[in-house]
Copies of this chain bind each other. A is one copy, B any other.
Amino acid sequence: MTVTTQRDLKRADTLQRIVQSARRLVTEHGEMSLRSVARELGMTAPALYRYAASHEELVRMVAMAIDADMSARLVAAADRQPADDPAARLIAATVEFRRWALENREEFSLVFTNVDVECLDEVQPAASCGTTFAALILEVWDKYRFPIPDLDDLDPHLAQILRSPDGPAAAKGLPDDMRGLFWLLQRGWVTLYGTVALEVYRHVDARLVDQAVLFRAMIEDQVQPLGLTDDLPRLRPLLDSLLAES
């Protein structure tokens, strides 16, 4: 029986304030040195070593916090759409992801293109962007019942990984007959990630970014495997208005 002493409470609170302060610093000043974080909290830099073994570990904590926060933003964006319209909810979350990434390039870089930050899904599966998108796609399937790829039709290597009980599909809690969904999710994630990263790092013409041309094309590509082709005429103006909001 572990009792939570008064000191444990304060410790938890301090840890939270450290991460939160570091996050604010990287957002507002694109930097989170130990000294500046400590200064904000009225502490000294070495004290932070009671909470993180290194600066790198603190960065990882911040990355996780940002990811969790992003996840909440995605859910909020989805919830601004009708509860019975999962397609709209998915698109809204996707647009929100892009909008956030383009507005917070440093944070995006910290979380999503950081050699020191491994896959977050494994550490905090509950509240990560990946899990959120997975849930949204599952909603879409629940309503539209688009065909799930048959594992036997896929690359045998891939099928074996998906069937594995300790594989990524099992980790998402997908039942055996729905593991093909993980493949769809993964492929969608590749294109979303690739498009947004390319835009964030300006590896495409600025005009293409402004008009969200690549992003639009990516969404339209994803519509078909998700069984939303018939809804496209309805979804297109929605996408336009969501993009215009920014």
**Residues on A facing B (Cβ under 8 Å):** 105-106, 109, 112-115, 117-119, 130, 155, 157-158, 161, 164, 167-168, 186-187, 189-191, 193-195, 197-198, 200-205, 207-208, 211, 213-214, 216-218
Contact = CB atoms under 8 A, between A and B. Distances in A.
A53 to B, nearest CB: 20
Given A155-B213, A161-B208, A193-B194, 11 more contacts: A105-B115, A109-B113, A115-B200, A155-B216, A155-B217, A158-B211, A161-B207, A168-B205, A186-B204, A187-B214, A189-B198
Nearest to A217: B187
A203 B164 CA distance: 19
A119 B203 contact: yes
A204 B115 contact: no
Copies of this chain, complex-wide, total 2
Contact of A157 (B117, B189, B213): B213
A201 B161 contact: no
Contacts of A200: 115
A213 B160 CA distance: 11
Contacts of A202: 118-119
11 contacts: A106-B115, A119-B202, A119-B203, A119-B204, A119-B205, A157-B213, A164-B207, A168-B205, A186-B214, A191-B194, A194-B198
